[in-house]
Chain A
Amino acid sequence: MKAASFDYVRAASITEACELLRQDGGDVKLIAGGQSLTPMMAMRLTRPSRLVDINEIDALKFIKLDNNTARIGACTRQCVVAADNALAARVPLLRRALAWVGHTQTRNRGTLGGSLAHADPAAELPLVAQVLDARLQIRSTSGTRTLPASEFFIGPLTTALEAHECLEEIYWPVWTEHRTGCAFTEVSRRHGDFAIIEACAQIAVDADGRCMRASFGLGGGGTIPLAFPALAATLIGTQLDDAVLKGVTQDAAAELDPGGDLHASAGYRKHLAAVLATRVLRAAYDEAYGKA
């Protein structure tokens, strides 16, 4: 349970980090909070020849808010994201989701960008990125590019990031509708574990309780967390009555391809997906409609 030998470089800037990645070729890894990478190294599931540490780059740690977007630096600690009240007022799903992410000790070290770049299929933050249609800005020595979450997540522990690229900043759209509500829930063996199934939703309604805008997604049921924009669009104009919800959530669950294991069969996971999707959509709707 000890990591194999490796070389270590502490990058002083993102420019230096990108330069180090470019020089080194394929066997180098960035380390941010290290809450997933370090155990994988301890278990020898990965053996990078060199770690480039971005923890000391202050320029990657920020939360900047404007009316329509929250921009968060990739190396911002999860505890900092969860504690920011102004952010929670604009992108409440992040705080809701982070309550399910690990424990105090791991959130103090773990970063927002690290969780996204690690891309565990049952992790909470990638699901929120999918549901809110976050955009991810990626840096390399040849410049920057920005991808929507839907193009960033490719498979289990696999993203569109190339070996020489560094996630720099994540843009979270702010829903400006006054009556907006959101919810996050999951079932896991113990609180803080990765989810067996996780679900989250965000809903905006008008004064009569008609859905104006909706997004929801499910994680743990396949290779990447998924949002269901086409199904969510069918909720527009409805009041999310039981029949509507049942149809939409069952259709969403049918799109999943969960594996079965010791803890939960594939059939149970599919059932759970529809149940949890119903719960978060209902809770998000009720919160939105409850706003005066």
Chain B
Amino acid sequence: MSDKLYPVAIEVNGTRRTLQVPARLSLVDCLRDELRLTGTHIGCEHGICGACSVLLDGEPVRSCLMFAVQADGHKVTTVEGLANTDGTPGILQDSFCEKHALQCGYCTPGMLIAAHALLAEIKQPTDAEIRVAIGGNLCRCTGYQQIVDAVKLAAARLSTQATDGFKNG
């Protein structure tokens, strides 16, 4: 046992961040407490709720199920990284607002990450594909239908503005 610190270098939302972390520090705690990126939420802390989803090297993973030290040398995209470069909400985020796809907002960062990864892979997903993609994310306000609607709206908008405001993690 030790509280030894380990040097890590993680590219977070396009910026290289270097810090010293104890091995037990989860990636989500590192993002929130060390890097002050509080957009990623902590829900269950054991891999059930999906609120802490981030992109690791472009693929959605649960940041509570990884230790920060394991992310050394990798790229992480958080919900902050989904915004436009000027900080305004991206098309997917706007679509969530417009379709009332959030009530309390706790699950929203995870939903956005899951939906973003889906739309990066499938440009025009079916309802079933959307439901599978967000199947690992719990919403306790039971807003799933509006979330599906928002992802469909974003897909439609992105197809007409394919290059504007939508970045691949």
Contacts and interface: CB of A to CB of B under 8 A. Distances in A.
B23 A51 contact: yes
A260 to B, nearest CB: 23
B7 to A, nearest CB: 12
Interface in A29-67: 31, 34-35, 38-39, 42-43, 49, 51, 53, 55-56
What's the dominant secondary structure at chain B's contact region? Answer: mixed
A8 B46 contact: no
Contact of A6 (B24, B64, B72, B117): B24
B110 to A, nearest CB: 8
Interface size class on chain B is 35 or more
Contact of B46 (A7, A39, A49): A39
17 contacts: A5-B3, A5-B24, A7-B2, A8-B69, A31-B70, A35-B62, A38-B64, A38-B67, A39-B65, A51-B23, A102-B136, A104-B114, A105-B61, A106-B62, A106-B65, A108-B59, A109-B61
A42 B22 CA distance: 15
Nearest to A3: B24
B135 A5 contact: no
Interface string B67-109: 1011011000000000000000000000000000000000000
B60 interface: yes
A192 interface: yes
A161 to B, nearest CB: 22
Interface residues of A, number: 31
Contact of B23 (A8, A42, A43, A109): A8
A79 B59 CA distance: 10
A106 B3 CA distance: 28
A106 B47 contact: yes
Interface of A: 1-8, 10, 31, 34-35, 38-39, 42-43, 49, 51, 53, 55-56, 79, 102-106, 108-109, 191-192
B53 interface: yes
A105 B23 contact: no
Nearest to A99: B132
A34 B64 contact: no
